[in-house]
């Protein structure tokens, strides 16, 4: 293309064409959802939806339990498991994105749970969850609605009652601490929750 032709092309390009060419240089990162902890949505209701739709990852986890990893090292790990509001020792084994949990229930009976998951980026590439991701998921907070009407948040070794902390709109804001890390959690009564390390997620942003 000659200089004259180039000059003419510049003269004839419209504002819209130039604008579209300029802003087509911007691209969403498309980063793996698991790498982003800014917003994570999970809950009794939500797990099923995530599992079927595979947005973040499929997680097959006992819905009445929350766990936190207490021992790091090797594929077989000792963890603490929240079962019906009580902390219980358990062993977790992880391999190829699958895990199995073994623990004794309150009657002394050995119980087993297993599950696993996959992660995939927004471009559709699939892979099994890594050991770190499974443990990260186990370490994320969980909300439990008990039969007596009380509502609890379980996070690492903490058990926080939030029954009376909901506002008129049925929304509760909880600040969770783990060492130096702070997590801001917004809970909608019987309607899921979201967390962020930066600020309380807007109730409008989920469910």
Partner 1 sequence: MRLPVAIVFQKYGDRLFAAAFSICRNQMDADDAVQETLIKYNTLELDYADESHIKAWLLRVVINRAKDISSSFWRKNKVAWEEYGETLHFEEPEDSRLFEAVMRLPKKYRIVIHLFYYEDYTIREIADVLRQREGTIKSQLSRGRKLLKKMLMEEWNDDE
Of positions 25, 109, 180, 181, contacts partner 1 by CB under 8 A: 25
We find the least distance from the C-beta atom of residue 90 to partner 1, in angstroms, to be 30
Q: Rounded to a whole number, what is the largest CA-CA distance in the chain?
A: 88
169 binds partner 1 (CB under 8 A): no
Sheet of 76-83: strand order equals 65-69, 76-83, 86-95, 98-104, 110-116
CA-based nearest residue to 138, from 120, 150, 154: 154
Nearer to partner 1, 13 or 72 (CB): 13
We find the least distance from the C-beta atom of residue 83 to partner 1, in angstroms, to be 28
CA-based nearest residue to 156, from 140, 180, 172, 133: 140
Structure-derived torsion over alpha carbons of residues 114, 40, 34, 66, reported in degrees to the nearest 10 = -20
We find the least distance from the C-beta atom of residue 147 to partner 1, in angstroms, to be 27
Of positions 2, 3, 4, 22, contacts partner 1 by CB under 8 A: 22
We find the least distance from the C-beta atom of residue 187 to partner 1, in angstroms, to be 16
Counting residues that bind partner 1 (by CB under 8 A) gives: 42
Q: Restricting to residues 49-78, which ones interact with partner 1 according to CB under 8 A?
A: 49-50, 53, 55-56
């Amino acid at each position: 293309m000659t200089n004259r032709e180039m000059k003419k092309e510049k003269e004839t390009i419209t504002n819209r064409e130039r604008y579209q060419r300029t802003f087509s240089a911007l691209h969403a990162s498309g980063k793996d959802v698991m790498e982003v902890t800014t917003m994570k949505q999970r809950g009794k209701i939500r797990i099923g939806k995530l599992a079927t739709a595979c947005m973040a990852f499929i997680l097959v986890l006992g819905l009445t339990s929350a766990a936190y990893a207490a021992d790091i090292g090797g594929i077989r790990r000792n963890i603490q498991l929240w079962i019906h509001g009580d902390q219980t020792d358990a062993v977790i084994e992880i391999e190829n994105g699958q895990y199995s949990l073994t623990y004794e229930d309150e009657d002394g009976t050995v119980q087993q749970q297993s599950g696993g998951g996959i992660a995939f980026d927004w471009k559709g590439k699939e892979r099994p969850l890594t050991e770190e991701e499974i443990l990260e998921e186990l370490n994320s907070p969980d909300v439990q609605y008990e039969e007596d009407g009380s509502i609890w948040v379980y996070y690492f070794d903490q058990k926080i009652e939030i029954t009376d902390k909901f506002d008129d709109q049925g929304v509760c804001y909880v600040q969770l601490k783990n060492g130096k890390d702070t997590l801001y959690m917004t809970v909608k009564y019987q309607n899921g929750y979201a967390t962020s390390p930066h600020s309380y997620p807007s109730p409008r942003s989920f469910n």
